[in-house]
Amino acid sequence: MTGPELKKLLKPVFDFDSKSALEAYLESVPPKVRDAIKAHQVLVGMNHEMVIYSKGRAPKKIREQNEQGEYEDWIYGQPPQDVDFVRFVGDEVVRVETMKVDGQKTVRTEKEIDLGQATAVAKKEDRPANAPTLRRPGEEAPEIDQAGQHSGIPPVAPAPPPSDPKNPPPNQVIG
């Protein structure tokens, strides 16, 4: 049996065309970030998730505090290789320092990407026409107001507190 024949037999069970987590993630980020992740580079302005996709989990992390506040350094590599120090303040890379084997040191602190624009919520018209939905055929999506609330949908009432089987309410019968 050949590989294509086996693949044809297994097609009803396995989706051979599905994307990996990395492929799906790369489709959701701006092109500049996508290129940096593929090249295993860190850009000032990336978040934790982007750095992990780019360089992997840091083998060493140092959390410290200075006059500006708390920060965390992720350290990649160790001598005699190049060593990268990636500094986070909150969820954003604010500094990338690289120490080369030959002793050359480069420090980048200028913001290279702005995720404020990159992570904006997708608009209704940005969705593909055949995107999955839980609405019935012909049912329209509710409009969203400026505060991000769905208009025209009444709020859901909170669930009643659970009853105690030892002390039931007066109208409740326990069988």
Domain residue ranges in the chain: 3-112
How high does pLDDT run on average in the chain? 81
pTM above 0.95, yes or no: no
Phi and psi for 106 in degrees, rounded to 5? -120, 135
Please report which helix (H) or strand (E) contains residue 107, including its range: strand 105-108
Q: Report CA torsion sign: 20, 118, 98, 67.
A: negative
Q: What is the pLDDT of residues 125-136, one digit of tens each?
A: 556 666 777 778
Q: What is the pLDDT of residues 145-163, one digit of tens each?
A: 555 555 555 555 666 666 6
State how far the Cα of 175 lies from the Cα of 152, in Å rounded to an integer.
41
Find out whether 58 and 86 touch, Cβ atoms under 8 Å. yes
- Left, alpha or beta for 13 (phi > 0: left; psi -120 to 50: alpha)? alpha
